[in-house]
Amino acid sequence: DIQMTQSPSTLSASVGDSVTIACRASQTVYNWLAWYQQKPGRPPKLLIYKASELQTGVPPRFSGSGSGTEFTLTVTSLQPDDFATYYCQQVHRSPFTFGQGTNLEIK
């Protein structure tokens, strides 16, 4: 199975800051990577697919980059609504594994 490792596990930031979350795959997934946002008690929400494509309706302050084994999700000008847990997911090969999550919290 392809292992997905996110860093950091927890990230503290303030409204207006820019943050970057990293995701590493144990083997290449090319650009077959998605990012999700999840808030407590809610289902995940797709933010980014194919490593850098912004899902319809997602604000452009969210961006994704990377290919192969190294990926990043960047959120600029953090808004109060952005504090949540973020997951990466590889969709190159079954089983379609997720990272362990990054909890973005208010400093």
Partner 1 sequence: QVQLVEAGGGVVQPGRSLRLLCAASGFSFRSYGMHWVRQAPGKGLEWVAGLSYDGRIENHADSVKGRFAISRDNVKNTLYLQMNSLRPEDTAVYYCARDPGGCGGDCFYFDLWGQGTLLTVSS
Q: Does 14 bind partner 1 (CB under 8 A)?
A: no
Which of 19, 23, 49, 73 forms a contact with partner 1 (CB under 8 A)? 49
Nearer to partner 1, 75 or 88 (CB): 88
Q: Which residues of 88-100 are buried (b: 16+ CB within 10 A; e: fewer)?
A: bbbeeeeeebbbe
Question: How far is residue 24's CA from residue 70's CA, in Å, rounded to a whole number?
Answer: 5
Q: 4: which DSSP letter?
A: E
DSSP string, 22-52: EEEESS--TT-EEEEEE-TTS--EEEEETTT
* Least distance from partner 1 to the Cβ atom of residue 34, Å: 4
Residue closer to partner 1 by CB (options 18, 93) is 93
Q: How many CB atoms lie within 10 A of CB 87?
A: 21
CB of 96 to partner 1, least distance (A): 4
Return the number of the residue (16 or 40) whose C-beta is nearest partner 1.
40
Stretch that binds partner 1, among 20-28, 36-44, 59-67, 69-77 (CB under 8 A): 36-44
Residues at the interface with partner 1 (CB under 8 A): 1, 32, 34, 36, 38, 42-46, 49, 55, 87, 89, 91, 94-101
